């Protein structure tokens, strides 16, 4: 599909949060097809808690449970713009929570535009109930026994409790 109705929603998703799922769902309401790109080996973050396949599985389960039939999930290890080209996507969709997100995304947008000026970056502002939510914060809470069950899908909460218990 190369008609501009496909979007890529990239991320590490370690772990996927309800904030991520909100952005994915909102993108699915705008685009005919959304490809959630799970970064295989992130470059700006340390080792992940979950493997790429585990992260993909958590998102697949949540997407299915939420009835998002136009969303597919794929692990990728190429430049983001190459993933977009492979799928005929004309848009990269990212969520923004705060000014700090904007600063990083602004830099990434400029680099992506240099590599692929035909692909637009589109930003969705986080819903108020998720504006504070980050994977890093969720992992920290889970590490110290905090209840994250209202921040992530149930399967993710259980896996975090098992994987990060002290």
For residue 123, what pLDDT is reported? 96
In a domain, 31, yes or no: yes
In a domain, 1, yes or no: no
| pLDDT tens-digit series, residues 64-105 | 999 999 999 999 999 999 999 999 999 999 999 988 888 889
Q: How many C-beta atoms surround the C-beta of residue 6 within 10 A? A: 20
Res. 41: pLDDT tops 60: yes
Count of CA atoms in the C-beta half-sphere (13 A) of 55: 25
In a domain, 149, yes or no: yes
For residue 57, what pLDDT is reported? 98
For residue 103, what pLDDT is reported? 87
Domain encompassing residue 126 = 6-164
- The count of structural domains within the chain is 1
Count of CA atoms in the C-beta half-sphere (13 A) of 111: 10
For residue 1, what pLDDT is reported? 42
**Opening angle at CA 142, ends 138 and 143, nearest 5:** 115
For residue 2, what pLDDT is reported? 46
Radius of gyration of the chain (CA): 15
Sequence-distant (6+) residues with CB within 8 A of 65 are 153
Q: To the nearest 10°, report the CA torsion of 72, 78, 79, 80.
A: 10
Whole-structure pTM value:
0.93
Decide: helix, strand or coil at residue 81: helix
Q: How many C-beta atoms surround the C-beta of residue 98 within 10 A? A: 11
| pLDDT tens-digit series, residues 118-162 | 999 999 999 999 999 999 999 999 999 999 999 999 999 999 999
Query: What's the CATH number where 40 sits?
Result: 3.40.50.620
Mean pLDDT, range 11-30, rounded to an integer = 97
In a domain, 12, yes or no: yes
In a domain, 63, yes or no: yes
In a domain, 140, yes or no: yes
In a domain, 49, yes or no: yes
For residue 42, what pLDDT is reported? 72
């Amino acid at each position: 599909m190369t008609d501009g109705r496909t979007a890529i929603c990239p991320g590490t998703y370690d772990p996927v949060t309800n904030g991520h799922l909100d952005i994915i769902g909102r993108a699915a309401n705008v685009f005919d097809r959304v490809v959630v790109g799970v970064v295989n080996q992130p470059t700006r973050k340390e080792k992940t808690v979950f493997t790429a396949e585990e992260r993909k599985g958590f998102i697949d389960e949540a997407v299915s449970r939420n009835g998002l039939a136009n969303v597919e999930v794929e692990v990728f290890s190429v430049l983001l713009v190459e993933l977009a080209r492979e799928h005929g996507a004309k848009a990269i969709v990212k969520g923004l929570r705060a000014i700090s997100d904007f600063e990083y995304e602004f830099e990434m947008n400029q680099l992506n535009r240099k590599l692929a000026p035909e692909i637009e970056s589109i930003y969705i502002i986080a819903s108020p109930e998720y504006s504070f939510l980050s994977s890093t914060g969720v992992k920290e809470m889970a590490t110290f026994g905090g209840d994250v069950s209202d921040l992530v899908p149930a399967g993710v909460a259980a896996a975090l409790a098992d994987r990060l218990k002290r």
